[in-house]
Chain A
Amino acid sequence: MPDLVADTPSERGATKVDAASLSVLAYTPMHLLAPFPGGSEAMAAALTEAYGVRLPAPGESLSADGAELRWAGRDQALLLGPDAPAPALHTHGAVTDVSDVYLRLMLTGPSEAADILARLVPIDLRPLRFASGATAKTLLGHISAQVTARADGVEIMVMRSFWQSAFHEIETAMTRVAGRAALPPD
């Protein structure tokens, strides 16, 4: 009888440089919600009914009990958490399982994360401008990524096949930033 074992990059990739640490987040069920034309309100209502949250506005992520709703582009949102999204959602739009499409990296240390990611991400990620809960689709070096501000740092979501490159890029930036900090003061 064959047996399939789930790969767990979250247990392999973790690195710490000074006050910042980078890890791969564990598997979380993730579904992309995309209301059909004219279906946004009905889907939002279904979301409120099921999870107590609305559809997030651009650049916004919302948390509820056991679920997170994260803006994911024009007329799209990611639902993180539930294994099987509420059936009512399906009637108003596309609900696609993307749990394995993306891997999420977590860079902790809110100010350190902004400083490190400034080497790779063109938008301003300082907590002042990108407060906890903010989310944006952007670039991490050459890699398409979605970044989300957390209270303890920044989460970086990339397509799964890119995760090693993304990890390496961030790790390199961490090393350079730590190298600067280690320079003798003037």
Chain B
Amino acid sequence: MRVAGYGRVDRARKLRFRFDGRSYAGFAGDTLASALLANDVRLVARSFKYHRPRGVMTAGSEEPNALVEIGRGAAKLPNVRATVQELYDGLYAESQNRWPSLAVDMLAVNALAAPFLGAGFYYKTFMWPPSFWEKVYEPAIRRAAGLGRFSREADPARQEKAFVSCDVLVIGAGPAGLMAAQVAAAAGADVLLVDEGTAPGGRLLAEDEAVGGKAGHRWAASLAEGLAALPNVRILTRTAVTGAYDGGTYGALERVAEHVAERGDAPGVCFWRIDARVAVLATGALERPIAFPGNDRPGVMMASAIRSYLHRWGVVGGRRVALYTANDAARRTARDLAASGVEVAAVIDPRAEAPPLVGVDAPLLAGGRIVATSGRLGLTGLTVKTGSQTHRIAADVLALSGGWNPSVHLACHMGGRPVWDEALGAFRAPEPGAPGAVPGLLPAGAAAGIWDTSGCLASGRAAGAAALERIGRAATEMDLPEAESEPGSQTVVFQTPGRGRAWLDFQNDVTVKDVQLSAREGFASVEHMKRYTTQGMAPDQGKNSNVGALAVLADVTGRTIPETGTTTFRPPYVPLPLGAIGAGAEGKGFAPERFTTSHAASRARGTPMIEAGLWYRPSFFPAPGETTWREACDREVTMVRGAVGVADVSTLGKIEFHGPDTGALLDLVYTSRMSTLKPGRVRYGIMLREDGHVMDDGTTARLADDHWVMTTTTAAAGQVMAHLDMVQQCHAPRLRTRFTSTTDGWAQFSIAGPKAATLLDALLDGGHDAAAVPFMACGAVQVAGVAARLFRISFSGEHAYEIAVPARYGASLWRLLVAYAEGLGGGPYGMEALNVLRIEKGFPTHAELHGRTTAYDLGLQRMLSPKKDFIGKAGASRVGLLDPGRERLVGLRPVAAQGRLLAGAHLFAPGARPVRTEDQGYITSACYSPTLGHDIALGFAVAGPDRLGERLKMVDHLRKCTTEVEICDPVFLDPDGERARA
């Protein structure tokens, strides 16, 4: 219900929303949780395992119970904490993990079976038979236990990732964080202040206390406003820092537009990668519950959350509130409720010498402990024992406070362990500089175990100054505002005894008994206990329960809390949607696309593209009437062999060298001598890795005396460039040569076929004389006045050229080439035909240069110059790499003309069983040769070149195909190269 005169929601702006099909109203400024409580909706969820009725327990991201699904259809977001979800008009929310409804949940029968569903239940019960786990048990368990459901559709929401850098990152904008930010900002540092909440202020937004002579929330708002106006301060609200990483990097999740009905183009969330020189951890503290029987009913809430709901949203979750705490400060809850006119049923204080209540007209049960609660779908009453007396108290809300846990999670993300402070009764962040502590992360305020506002302000100021010192700036003097300075005394209480199940981890349904059972069964280490009971897992990561659970474990194992230790804190601090981490990578965002200059023209012909690395290359160019790729491919091959074909080969890497010592560098990287190449000539070469295996092959042209251009394969362009950089910097730093990639600068096209020279004659300014440009020559030409490069090289075995023009002319030249070729009975050809043409000629590609083959394996041993050194020479000379019995390159043809050859298939002796141990080799490239009229293949066979004419059995286990093959020379066509030289 709403409390008149309380809360800062905008009561003039009414918002409609739906929860589980029913329509409700709230106000602007509400969270879903506050709006539900205002509507007296107490039952909002069913628990994970036992399907116990649960209600809102906290007012922040640590909420273990009130998880809901927001939205519908593919955009539905599961496991949203109702305490974090801001209300907007038309919000659609549904509860989770219940069937058919929250009030009548059939799966609550699980609770009857509770004695059997304790810790380790799965491990004990579903051990046999093993195959039943995946098929029967797991699906059944997943249906009955769990949290939200996936829609299983692609998420239509668009998220965002972003980077931000700063001098000082302040995590948390409560009193400590605000002071730290102010000190850092005053000294001129570049400050980033980040807070999970909707506005700066932290606890000041939720308390009735004055700072600097005004209401705490007003003080915070005016300070934040002043900071936001400074040019060196940025404030990110609705942003939770999720992790601390190396080098001052922090991850943070910003809820950008999850609080509005119409997002427009805004992302739902943004994942920030923060680069900070130094950071202040002002993350505050989380109040911890107390374990006692029946402590999980809807209506049982944290005492601080009750104050938050009262002061921020003007909401109380019931009409009669009882308070259970051994902590003076938590009595504020009773004080504030009483002041607002809400009835306080009783204050139950486990301390026998509890101080008297001041200003609250309610019974104080000193030395009391709650032994039972009642109310099926919501709290109705408590049973309290004081000594031998039993009291029954009617209450529909119970406020709990077992003290506070500093939020030290981030400080432990790099392996540091929190330190138990006996006086504080809590774990503190590892000291800065301690092993595993996050370097440059300075705890302040409640995160450092300081409970009073005045102390937090002072701590924040000191942390701001310490942060400045780390970045070499001096802090200026700054006065502290007046604020409350009484932290109050407390006795640490984690559990109070009683019969019945007492919950520790509300989200995972872990009770005191489960932890005790775990210890009894030998899982006494805290990490084992976590895995055995599942305590501390799931979206809340044990924010409420970790310390309580280990205190119980310490108790049952007879150890102290520091001896028991904590489980490991890992990122992310709050649930991080995969859509945020992967933002921008959906669909084509997965990888950039590289387009050739002929791309648009190829697409206009309906050409299917294939991906070669990031490049898109035409697969084939379908002609009217063709229904399969093979028809197009066969036609294109025949066209090149019979007339002329043109293809875009711009994707091959081009590396341009200048300098008098270029030949010397090339001699080092290529196996054969390049320095003797004459200007105007081209030479084929291979380069090796240090281990003697082939890295890449290609042609290098000497355009002028000190100007060379190297061609790499498309696949290895980047690798070769990196290799050359390494060679120059490490092996040849003094050579007078420099190089750069010009791959993208030149559109290069192959013109291949007996009519290639005729085409060039029409294309080139001044015509073309084939006799003047012999095979493996290169030179400068002009096309329509544009300077171009002509190379007479052939990857098809035909009389062929490659012509290169500056890329801006590529699209135009391609259209011209296609038109000329078609005029000569030819046309464009794609990658499929290009592949067939080169297999017919036995030219290797990276199918053969696959990283495990040597020059010897490829039959290129004669290219390893004995007269000079080159990279990989020693490696390639190792005896094992020159063993004739190695799998070496051969051609293969089917014995029967119609026999199929398949790439990837393996070779076996005709009579051998087709198993691994009998393997004789494998096929790397295969195709149907329209020129020869049957399938052909390249592959590697044991001692292959010594076995020409032998027959083997090709077996493709995947495609179920067996073919008898004959080993032959890898060059199927024109072995003397007469066509290319014609």
Contacts and interface: CB of A to CB of B under 8 A. Distances in A.
A102 B743 CA distance: 10
Nearest to A27: B808
B738 A119 contact: no
Contact of B257 (A1, A121, A183): A183
B807 A180 contact: no
Given A4-B805, A164-B593, A179-B267, A93 B738 contact: yes
Contacts of B785: 4
Nearest to A166: B592
A30 B734 CA distance: 26
Contacts of B813: 4
Interface of A: 1-8, 27, 32, 34-37, 39, 75-76, 90, 93-102, 118-119, 121-124, 128-129, 141-143, 159-162, 164-166, 169, 172, 175-176, 178-180, 182-184, 186
Interface in B192-251: 198-199
Interface stretch (B304-312, B468-476, B481-489, B656-664): B656-664
A100 B807 contact: yes
A186 to B, nearest CB: 7
Given A4-B812, A179-B267, 17 more contacts: A1-B784, A4-B785, A4-B786, A4-B813, A7-B597, A36-B738, A96-B656, A96-B658, A96-B742, A98-B740, A98-B742, A101-B744, A124-B275, A129-B165, A141-B584, A141-B592, A179-B257
B267 A176 contact: yes
Interface stretch (B48-56, B258-266, B447-455, B849-857): B258-266
B735 interface: yes
B601 to A, nearest CB: 11
A177 to B, nearest CB: 9
Interface in B720-734: 733-734
B745 A97 contact: yes
A7 B584 contact: no
B935 interface: no
A34 B740 contact: yes
- Closest 8 pairs between A and B when the two form their complex, measured CB to CB: A179-B265, A94-B658, A179-B266, A101-B745, A94-B738, A34-B738, A165-B592, A161-B594
Contacts of B3: none
B595 interface: yes
Interface in B456-483: none
Contacts of B658: 34, 90, 93-96
Interface stretch (B155-163, B323-331, B395-403, B948-956): B155-163
Interface string B645-688: 00000000000111100000000000000000000000000000
B744 A160 contact: yes
B812 A182 contact: no
Contacts of B190: 128
Contacts of A97: 742, 745
A101 B742 CA distance: 6
Contacts of A1: 784
A123 B164 CA distance: 8
A34 B198 CA distance: 53
B816 A183 contact: no
A107 to B, nearest CB: 15
Interface string B729-771: 0000111111111111110000000000000001100000000
Interface of B: 158, 160-165, 190, 198-199, 256-257, 260, 263-267, 273, 275, 584, 589, 591-597, 615, 656-659, 733-746, 762-763, 783-786, 805-813, 816
A172 B160 CA distance: 10
Nearest to A74: B729
A78 B440 CA distance: 39
A35 B745 CA distance: 21
26 contacts: A2-B783, A4-B783, A6-B808, A7-B812, A27-B808, A34-B658, A36-B659, A76-B738, A90-B658, A98-B742, A100-B745, A119-B162, A121-B163, A122-B163, A122-B273, A123-B163, A124-B164, A142-B592, A159-B594, A161-B596, A161-B615, A165-B592, A165-B593, A176-B267, A179-B264, A183-B264
Secondary structure at the B interface, as helix, strand, loop or mixed, is mixed
Given A4-B784, A101-B742, A101-B744, A94 B657 contact: yes
B200 to A, nearest CB: 11
Contacts of A6: 808-809, 812
Contacts of B746: 100
Contacts of B597: 7
Q: Which of A37, A118, A128, A143 has the most CB of B within 10 A?
A: A37
A60 B469 CA distance: 30
B812 A176 contact: no
Contacts of A96: 656, 658, 740, 742
Contacts of A100: 744-746, 806-808
Nearest to B787: A97
A5 B747 CA distance: 13
A180 B256 contact: yes
Given A6-B808, A27-B808, A164 B595 contact: yes
Given A4-B783, A4-B805, A94-B658, A102 B744 contact: yes
Nearest to B591: A142
Nearest to A34: B738
Contacts of B256: 180, 183
